[in-house]
Amino acid sequence: METSGETQDGAAGSIGDWAERSADPGYRAAVLDLLGALAYGELSAFERLAEDAKLAPDLADKAALARMASAEFQHYQRLHDRLAEIGADPQEAMRPFVEPLELFHRMTAPSDWLEGLVKAYVGDAIATDFYREVAVRLDDDTRDLVLGVMSDTGHAQFAVDKVRQAIEADPRAGGRLALWGRRLMGEALSQAQRVVAERDALSNLLVGGVQVQGFDLVEVGKMFNRITEAHTKRMAALGLAS
Amino acid sequence: METSGETQDGAAGSIGDWAERSADPGYRAAVLDLLGALAYGELSAFERLAEDAKLAPDLADKAALARMASAEFQHYQRLHDRLAEIGADPQEAMRPFVEPLELFHRMTAPSDWLEGLVKAYVGDAIATDFYREVAVRLDDDTRDLVLGVMSDTGHAQFAVDKVRQAIEADPRAGGRLALWGRRLMGEALSQAQRVVAERDALSNLLVGGVQVQGFDLVEVGKMFNRITEAHTKRMAALGLAS
């Protein structure tokens, strides 16, 4: 465990533990936002995967999605319990993120099993990228929790396998799914930018840690660019143009 | 543990363990049917609870339903693993029960949150009654598993509390939900009778254990009567006429 005093390089340093950092109200507010967003994201992932399970072509696929949904729910539970443990109201912490996520889901309702798989894969991956960006700026306790709940639920590999098989069987499906992936990324970015613009404490944390004050659009833009690049690579892994 | 030789009274005796009983192909077929029906029932309960979570009036209720759905999935997993362990194909074992359960769900799609709660409560309870009737006729290993997965996931009490609160707030809701409960019971019985009529090994087990041969409509009728009586008592517990 690195405990150097150089806490602002972000890469490997520790900025201290929760007890130490949470004395700063701005930091505390940012972490509450972050855990609230993550908790609602997991609950929402549970719902989407359960929904997709209904589209599954057979019982084994149905059970596989139900298993992943169930794993997302366990993650939700850990975040919920942590919020309660640090004296926050979990429902209150989640509330600001309900509308942007529901809007995203309404704009991107999959019309079939494959679109559902690509959506879950792309969505999971964007979320993982985002939280990995954030994790380096977190106190040790919060970082451990965030990295723990971002751990793989087996969904990514499942989706990649199924989508590649489908494209092999019918290469024309690739064009349609590539368009779909682009649309998902666009909608995700626009909702994420909206959240960042509205949540000051959270955006301060994102653009450079607690020492940076004020909303820096350029820094946030760079982060979104990194996430977009990673998305392009993942679409290629699926065999899709992005 | 009772190990008396009086195995056919059903109430407290043991008929032996799986290794002993499964040598009888009729008994083995009946248990495969039973575990298959139960496994698909749990997977289906997962789906319905996840679906109902979308109707939840607030985030706490949504999370409560997601938690129960997740518990049903864990039960499914245990049944799936047991089927695999005794050399059965879990998907094959579940298949005969997919259509009757899906038909039941199509005939009884809840139109709101309260109808969903009453349905989950009534459905869970009928299933529990049914499997308790069956459990006394099972080998020790299978019985332990069946009773284990029928254990409470907290859903019944949650549904009772919410439904009673709703009827207190608006007594007219009681009349509508009472009708709904009656319809659910009717559809459940008609699908259950269809399954029993089609699955010989399973119905032999139901009507008196493996020694009884042939389909005894009178015995099955009596069992359904006992389940209907229990249903009437439960509806009263919800504050509903049945």
Q: What is the mean pLDDT of chain B?
A: 85
Compare CB distances from A70 to B62, B73, B80 and report the shortest one's residue: B73
- Quote the pLDDT of residue A88: 97
Q: What is the pLDDT of residues A121-144, one digit of tens each?
A: 888 888 888 888 888 889 999 999
Nearest residue, CB atoms, A70 vs list B40, B54, B70: B70
**Does B236 have pLDDT greater than 50?**
yes
Average pLDDT over residues A78-91: 97
Q: Cβ A66–B76 below 8 Å, yes or no?
A: yes
B122-133 pLDDT tens trace:
888 888 888 888
CB contact under 8 A, A69 and B76: no
CB contact under 8 A, B69 and A74: no
Q: How far apart are CA A83 and CA A94, in angstroms?
A: 10
Nearest CA in chain B to A62: B43
Rounded-to-integer distance, Cα A72 and Cα A201, Å: 26
* CA distance to partner chain B, nearest, from residue A55 (Å): 11
Residue A126 is encoded by which pair of tokens?
């964007």
Q: What is the pLDDT of residues B128-160, one digit of tens each?
A: 888 888 888 899 999 999 999 887 767 778 888
Q: What does the block give as tokens for B125?
A: 């309870």
- In whole angstroms, give the CA distance from residue A66 to residue A52: 9
Q: How far apart are CA B69 and CA A223, in angstroms?
A: 36
ipTM attached to this prediction: 0.79
Average pLDDT rounded to a whole number, residues A62-90: 95
The answer to whether B79 contacts chain A (CB < 8 Å) is no
* Mean pLDDT calculated for residue range A78-99: 96
* Contact yes or no for A94 and B59 at CB 8 A: yes
Chain A contacts in chain B segment 15-44 (CB below 8 A): 40, 43
How far does the CA of residue A175 sit from the closest CA of chain B (Å)?
31
Q: Nearest-CA distance from B81 to chain A in Å?
A: 12
Task: In whole angstroms, give the CA distance from residue A184 to residue A186.
Answer: 5
Residues of B within 8 A of A62 (CB-CB) are: 43
Contact residues on chain B for A60, CB-CB shorter than 8 A: 91
- Res. A7: pLDDT tops 50: no
Report helix, strand or coil for A110: coil
Q: Does B57 touch chain A (CB under 8 A)?
A: no
Contacts of B40 in chain A (CB under 8 A): 59
Asked if the Cβ–Cβ distance from B69 to A51 is below 8 Å, we say no
Lowest mean pLDDT, pick from A114-118, A164-168, A193-197, B181-185 = A193-197
Enumerate the residues of chain A whose CB falls inside 8 A of the CB of residue B154.
none
How close does chain B come to A26, measured CA to CA in Å? 25
Q: Is the pLDDT of residue B217 over 80?
A: no
CA atoms of B75 and A67, how far apart (whole Å): 11
Q: In sequence order, what DSSP letters do the residues of B147-193 get, joined into one string? A: HHHTS--SHHHHHHHHHHHHHHH-THHHHHHHHHHHHHHHHHHHHHH
Q: A77 to chain B: which residues are within 8 Å by CB?
A: 67
Q: Which of B50, B80, B90 sits opposite A50 (nearest CB)?
A: B50
User: B3: distance to nearest CA of chain A, Å?
Assistant: 37
CB contact under 8 A, A73 and B94: no
| Best mean pLDDT range from A78-82, A101-105, B109-113, B165-169 | A78-82
In this complex, the residue of A47, A77, A91 whose CB is nearest that of residue B60 is: A91
Is A70 within 8 Å of B67 when comparing Cβ atoms? no
Evaluate if residue B36 carries a pLDDT over 90.
Answer: yes
d(CA B40, CA A176): 33
Q: Which is nearest to A161 in space by CA: A227, A216, A239? A: A239
Instruction: Please say whether the beta carbons of A107 and A170 come within 8 A.
Output: no
Task: Test A66 with B59 for CB contact under 8 angstroms.
Answer: no
B178 touches chain A (CB under 8 A): no
CA distance A90 to chain B (A): 9
C-alpha span between B92 and A86 (Å, rounded): 48
CA distances from A195 to A57, A58, A97, B235 (A): 36, 38, 8, 46
pLDDT, residue A239, reads 79
Domains of chain A: 18-237 (1.20.1260.10)
User: Mean of the pLDDT values across residues A50-63?
Assistant: 91
Question: Looking at chain A, which residue has its C-alpha nearest residue B96?
Answer: A59
On whether any CB of chain A is under 8 Å from the CB of B77, the answer is: yes
